[in-house]
Amino acid sequence: MAAAPTSDRIGHRFNAPQLLAQALTHRSAGAPHNERLEFLGDALVNLVVAEALYLRWPRADEGALTRARAELVRESALAAIARELDLGPRLTLGPGEMKSGGHRRDSILADALEAVVAAIHLDSDFDHCREVVLPWFEPALAALPPPNKVGKDAKTRLQEWLQARQRALPVYELVSESGDDHAKVFRVACTLAEPAARAEGEGSSRRAAEQMAAEEVLEQLEARR
């Protein structure tokens, strides 16, 4: 299989270019659109990612593998890859979706990415498809936390760390709240009594700020080990 030209970030030269065109056609633009390809691509993406996790984490249990796969194939993660591949400007959309900025919407980008995966598979075979697609996920795979921590947010991980050592739970305190109603910024402090630690975090919601503060405290604890 010939390599794609470097200007094509997808990494596959299509023998049947109409497959790629269909993969990038939203149903709002009429038939043939990408919904059937998306159906197949969803299964292929899950298989490629599941196999990669299975081989990468030989001792992880089913729960950890399932949580990690869910993290990697969630809509926002797939949309981020679609943006890296510059799929948005190449989408064919109906007038309404074009006007509303559909080429930037996570759901449309994620669906298009899955459809492109299916198109690659149908244009070649599964082994080549995996060879093309797996590198798209490598940065996210490399950034995953250890299997026992994947899928758990910072507040949960901090609580489990403290409970395992029979320490008091953290105290979260709202430090400040600023901005207009539609663009609030919350600042929250997370404080531990033992071991003594404190950090602040900001976010568009109080919960998001608490998560940021908890993550900072966890980093402080990790640095002390």
In this structure, are residues 204 and 184 in contact, taking their beta carbons and an 8 Å threshold? yes
For residues 20 and 115, what is the distance between their CA atoms, to the nearest angstrom?
8
Which residue type occupies 23? A
In this structure, are residues 12 and 6 in contact, taking their beta carbons and an 8 Å threshold? no
Helix/strand/coil for 6: coil
Q: Is 114 annotated as a binding residue?
A: yes
For residues 132 and 212, what is the distance between their CA atoms, to the nearest angstrom?
35
Q: Is 222 a catalytic residue?
A: no
Q: Is 127 annotated as a binding residue?
A: no
H-helix or E-strand spanning residue 146: none
- The active-site residue, picked from 42, 123, 210, 215, is 42
- The active-site residue, picked from 51, 71, 114, 180, is 114
In this structure, are residues 103 and 91 in contact, taking their beta carbons and an 8 Å threshold? yes
Q: Is 222 annotated as a binding residue?
A: no
In this structure, are residues 169 and 155 in contact, taking their beta carbons and an 8 Å threshold? no
Q: Is 8 a catalytic residue?
A: no
Which residue type occupies 42? D
Residue given tokens 């993550």 in the structure block: 215
Q: Which residues are annotated as a binding site?
A: 38, 111, 114
Catalytic residues, by residue number, are 42, 114
Q: Which residues are annotated as a binding site for Mg(2+)?
A: 38, 111, 114
